[in-house]
């Protein structure tokens, strides 16, 4: 039957994504009645401790060459470890390195690989994965007919696993890596500050329009965005007025964004603006005008003056997220 293995690459922290990955792996393992092995390399002690409270087994890879600066050695190490752990399903998170490794690990393990899973299920024929295709216009269910299936999942979209009362002991696995190690070398890394996340990549966006009436209200929007972990964007009218820089403009002649949530505040929803948010999963709006076109594209909306709403809303969301 083999194990369900969740992979935590060097540097992984115990964040929402890691929790989702553990949850997905734990549920899959229990559905298949096989052990869930958390496999990690070069992670912090807190991370290891967290893993120990969530998995049936925790295996930590040890190897002289291994670090996040060696993509090829990282792959080789995880491959060697998975191979020795009798993998049935290998799950990875949605970080860039995990995405990069998924197909290669699948290939090396002689199994198959699937990316961007929104839900996973074990069926008689094998692991069944649900994922959205054709730019979100359709949903596909695909089945892995060769094992092990190596899958990276939209980890943040999965329920975290419940913490166990007992915790297991981390096992150390020494692996020997030799081939192709020096083929590429990481020579530098730049971290961009949180506010530097590109709008195109932002999972949540709070966007303001002409109805805000000036630059100051955008400060309030920033506070709201802060509690929502969101980026701030704007309509052209607001950019033009000089309230925010032009780089924040969303729409036909601005950025095209694809957040999970787009909250439009005091934006009418001109078609040129809407063209920039076609790919948003959920659109919500606050506008005084119930007839504003934006509402025709919203899942939910609030007809009210932003002045009455934004402040209390910020507090409410902050306390709900506590």
Partner 1 sequence: METATREVYWNISHHWVMYVLLVPTMAVALYGVWRHVQRWRAGKPVVRFDRPVMRLKRLIRFGLLQISLWRDPLTGLLHAMLFWGFITLTAATTVVMIHEDLNIPLMQGRFYLYFQSLFVDVLGLLAIVGTLLAGLQRWVLRPRRLVFSGEASCLLLLVFTILVTGYLLEGWRIAVTDDPWGHWSPVGRVVADVSAAFVSDAGLRTAHVVVWWFHLVLVFGFIAWAPYTKMRHVLTAPLNIFTADLDSRAGTLKPLDFETAASFGVNSLEQFTWKELLDLDACTECGRCTDACPAASAGKSLSPRDIILDLQHQLHEADVSVLSAASKAASDPDSGPALPIIDTRPALSPESLWQCTTCAACVEACPVSIEQFPKILDMRRYLVMEEASLPPMLAEAVTSLEQRGHPFRGAQASRTDWTDGLDIPHFRDVEDPEVLLWVGCGGALVDRNQSSTRALARLLQKAGVRFGILGRDETCTGDPARRIGHEFLFDAMARSNVERLESAGVRTVVTSCPHCFHTFRNEYPQFGAHLEVFHYTTYLARLIGEGRLVIDPAVTESITLHDPCYLGRHNGITQAPRDLVGRVTGRPLKEMRQHGAQSFCCGGGGGMSFLEEEADTRVNIERARQVVETGADTVAVACPFCTTMLEDGLGAVSEERSVAVKDIAELLWDSVSSDSSDGDASTDHIDSSDD
Partner 2 sequence: MKILVCLKQIPDPEVAPRDFRLDENNLIADPASAGLVTNIFCENALETALQLKEAAGGEITVLTFGPAEAEDVLRKALAVRADHAVHVINPGLLHPGSSGAACVLSAAIRKLGSFDLLMFGREAGDWGEGQTAGLVAEHLGLPFVAFVDSLQTTESGLHIVGQTDSGREELTAAGPVVVSITNSDANVPRIPKTRDIMMAHRRDITTWSLEDIDLTEDLVREAAGSVEVTELFIPEKDTTCEFITGDSADERIDAFARRIVDVIGSI
Q: Which residues bind partner 1 (CB under 8 A)?
A: 210, 236-237, 240-242, 252-253, 256, 270-272, 274-276, 278, 293
Q: Which is nearer to ligand FAD, 115 or 211 (CB)?
A: 211
Contacts 24+ apart (CB under 8 A), 141-147: 142/114, 144/111, 144/112, 144/114, 145/112, 146/110, 146/111, 146/112, 147/2, 147/87, 147/88, 147/89, 147/111, 147/112
Q: Do β-strands 126-133 and 261-265 pair in parallel, antiparallel, or remain unpaired?
A: unpaired
**Contact pick of 99, 167, 252, 272 for partner 2 (by CB under 8 A):** 99
Binding mask 216-245 vs ligand FAD (x if CB under 6 A, - otherwise)? -------------------xxxx-------
How far, in Å, CA of 286 to CA of 158, rounded? 29
CA atoms of 295 and 277, how far apart (whole Å): 13
CA distances, 56 to each of 4, 17, 163 (Å): 10, 19, 11
The CA-based dihedral angle spanning residues 288, 294, 295, 297, taken in that order and rounded to the nearest 10 degrees: -170
Tell me: does residue 246 bind partner 2 (CB under 8 A).
no
Burial bucket for residue 92 (CB in 10 Å: 0-12, 13-18, 19+): buried
Which residue in 289, 299, 315, 316 binds ligand FAD (CB under 6 A)? 289
Q: Binding-site residue total for ligand FAD (CB under 6 A)?
A: 27
Instruction: Choose, by CB under 6 A, the member of 71, 254, 259, 301 that binds ligand FAD.
Output: 254
Q: Which is nearer to partner 1, 35 or 254 (CB)?
A: 254
131 binds ligand FAD (CB under 6 A): no
According to CB under 8 A, which one of 37, 74, 205, 228 is a site residue for partner 2? 228
Q: How far is the CB of 294 from partner 2 (least distance, A)?
A: 9
- Closest C-alpha to 12, from 105, 88, 82, 74: 74
* Residues in 125-154 at the binding interface with partner 2, rule: CB under 8 A: 125, 128, 131-135, 137-146
The CA radius of gyration of the chain, in Å to the nearest whole number, is: 23
The stretch among 64-72, 76-84, 126-134, 301-309 that binds ligand FAD (CB under 6 A) is 301-309
Interface with partner 2, residue 9, by CB under 8 A: no
Q: Shortest gap between Cβ of 167 and partner 2 (angstroms)?
A: 26
Q: Is 253 in the site for ligand FAD (CB under 6 A)?
A: yes
Name which of residues 285 to 304 contact partner 2 (CB under 8 A): 285-286, 290, 295-304
User: 153 and 21 in contact (C-beta within 8 Å)?
Assistant: yes
Give the number of other Cβ atoms within 10 Å of residue 189's Cβ.
Answer: 7
Q: Is 191 in the site for partner 2 (CB under 8 A)?
A: yes
Site for ligand FAD, rule CB under 6 A: 209-211, 235-238, 249, 251-254, 266-268, 270, 272-273, 276, 286-289, 292, 305-307
């Amino acid at each position: 039957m083999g194990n369900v293995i969740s992979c935590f690459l060097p540097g992984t922290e115990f964040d929402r994504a890691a929790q989702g990955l553990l949850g997905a792996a734990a549920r899959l393992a229990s559905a298949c009645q096989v052990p869930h092995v958390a496999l990690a390399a070069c992670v912090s002690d807190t991370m290891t401790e967290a893993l120990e409270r969530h998995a049936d087994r925790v295996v930590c890879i040890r190897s002289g060459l291994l670090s996040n600066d060696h993509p090829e050695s990282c792959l080789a190490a995880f491959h060697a470890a998975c191979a020795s752990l009798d993998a049935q399903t290998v799950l990875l998170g949605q970080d860039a390195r995990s995405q990069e490794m998924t197909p290669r690990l699948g290939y090396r393990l002689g199994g198959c690989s699937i990316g961007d899973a929104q839900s996973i299920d074990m069926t008689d024929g094998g692991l069944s994965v649900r994922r959205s295709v054709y730019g979100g216009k359709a949903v596909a269910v695909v089945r892995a007919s060769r094992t092990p299936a190596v899958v990276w999942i939209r980890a943040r979209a999965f329920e975290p696993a419940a913490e166990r009362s007992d915790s297991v002991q981390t096992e150390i696995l020494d692996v020997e890596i030799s081939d192709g190690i020096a083929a590429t070398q990481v020579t530098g890394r730049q971290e961009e500050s949180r506010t530097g996340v590109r709008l195109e990549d932002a999972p949540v966006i709070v966007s303001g329009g002409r109805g805000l009436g000036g630059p100051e209200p955008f400060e309030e929007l920033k506070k709201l965005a802060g509690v929502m972990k969101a980026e701030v964007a704007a309509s052209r009218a607001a950019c033009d007025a000089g309230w925010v820089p032009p780089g924040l403009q969303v729409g036909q002649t601005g950025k095209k964004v694809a957040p999970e949530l787009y909250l439009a505040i005091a934006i009418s929803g001109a078609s040129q603006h809407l063209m920039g948010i076609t790919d948003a999963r959920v659109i919500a709006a606050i506008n005084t005008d119930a007839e504003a076109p934006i509402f025709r594209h919203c899942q939910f909306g609030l007809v009210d003056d932003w002045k009455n709403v934004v402040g209390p809303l910020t507090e409410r969301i902050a306390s709900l997220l506590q």
